Amino acid sequence: MWIAPALMLAQAPAAAELPKAETVLDRFVEVTGGKAAYEKRKTETQTGSVEFVGQGVKGTITAHAAAPENSYMSMELEGVGRIEQGFAAGVAWEKSALMGPRVKTGGELAQVRRESTFNGPLHWRKLYTKVETVGVEPVNGEDCYKIVLTPAEGKPETDYFSKASGLMVKRVMVANTPLGDIPTETVLSDWKQMGGVLQPGKLVQKAAGQQIAITMDSSKVNEPLPDGIFDLPADIKKLMEKKQ
């Protein structure tokens, strides 16, 4: 257990040889389509499937997003029901068949706001106050630049970008939730053209001892979104009114 970090350190190039994090992040924008391609995108609807690996629990995902920072996601899980979450007008919320409705606050709110920023890769300068390349590490046999991104509010996130392709391969972060701080690791793969830019077709997330695989099947951009899709659900409105 002691040897592995030491070996990785030995393999890492000296700091002077490492590209600046800014360069790596800007390259990511370029290899996924470039600034102009991102800027053409104003809304997006994605659909896909989700599976709790090894547990026989499967479902579907539908996500809507719009500039500048509106998001809505609905997950229908077999045997569980619907779990919805959204962000609009500064309010982050979740409505779960399991735990009911709730309004997100504090670090969790800040995290959702970052994740809801439309064309997120393009806006890393706005989303993070500090970015730093800290080394090179292999991820699934592929050498990657390890970039630590520190937001204004919340814990730093660590992204891994392939040296060869410039694509993001992994994100390691601590999810801030009322249930506690949950370390998560998400591996991104199967990059493909979706919605005018390259996006990962598959995400495998490990968190709290579980592995969740998400496969995105389709993306439609700049098409009309369902009416009122970013409106707060009635349950959430009631909670907001109670708070005030």
Partner 1 sequence: MKIVLFLLAAASVFAQAGRTLTAEQIALNVASFDKVWSTVRDKHWEKNPGGLDWNAIREEYRPRVEKAATMEQARAAMSGMLARLKQTHFGILPAGGYSEVGSPTGSGWTGIDLRVIGDQAVVKSVDAGSPAARKGVKPGWIVVSVDGRELAPLIAKLRKMDEQSRELMLYRPVQARLSGAPGSTAKIAFLDGGSKPVTVEIERVDAKGEWASFGYLGAMPVSLETRRLGNSGYVALNIFLDPGRVMPKFGDFISSCRDCDGIVIDLRGNPGGIGAMAMGMAGWFVDKAGLRLGTMFMRDNELKFVIFPRAEPFAGPVAILVDGASASTSEILAGGLKDIGRAKVFGTRTAAAALPSSIEQLPNGDGFQYAQANYISEGGKPLEGLGVIPDVVAPLTREALLAGGDPALDEALKWIRTQEKKTK
Which residues does residue 142 pair with via DSSP β-bridges, in sequence order? Answer: 139
Q: Considering beta carbons, is residue 90 or 180 the nearer one to partner 1? A: 180
Task: Please name the residue that has the structure tokens 């890393």.
Answer: 124
Minimum distance from CB of 231 to partner 1 (Å)?
Answer: 17
The smaller minimum CB distance to partner 1, of residues 33 and 86, is found at: 86
Ramachandran angles phi, psi of 83, nearest 5°: -125, 120
Contact yes or no for 69/213 (Cβ under 8 A): no
Q: Which is nearer to partner 1, 68 or 81 (CB)?
A: 81
CB 19, min distance to partner 1, A: 30
- Which one, 133 or 176, has the nearer CB to partner 1? 176
Q: How far is the CB of 27 from partner 1 (least distance, A)?
A: 27
* DSSP conformation letters of 52-104: ETTTTEEEEEEEEEETTTEEEEEEEETTTEEEEEEEETTEEEEEETTTEEEEE
The residues with which 97 forms a beta bridge, in sequence order, are none
Residue 104 vs 113, nearer CB to partner 1: 104
**How far, in Å, CA of 198 to CA of 209, rounded?**
30
Question: Which is nearer to partner 1, 43 or 85 (by Cβ)?
Answer: 85
User: CB of 177: closest distance to partner 1 in angstroms?
Assistant: 7
Minimum distance from CB of 77 to partner 1 (Å)? 7
CA 224 to chain centroid, in Å, comes to 23
Query: Whole-number minimum distance, CB 117 to partner 1, in Å?
Result: 18
Residues forming the site for partner 1 (CB under 8 A): 50, 52, 54-57, 75, 77-83, 85, 94, 96-102, 177-180, 182-183, 205, 207-210, 212, 214, 235, 238-239, 241-242
| Residue with Cβ nearer partner 1 (27 or 102) | 102
Q: How far is the CB of 244 from partner 1 (least distance, A)?
A: 12
β strands within the chain, DSSP E? 43-52, 57-66, 70-77, 81-88, 91-96, 100-104, 128-139, 142-151, 157-162, 168-177, 180-194, 197-207, 210-221
Residue closest to 48 by CA, chosen among 62, 34, 31 = 62
Question: For 119, left (φ over 0), alpha (ψ -120 to 50), or beta?
Answer: left
C-beta of residue 242 within 8 angstroms of C-beta of residue 230: no
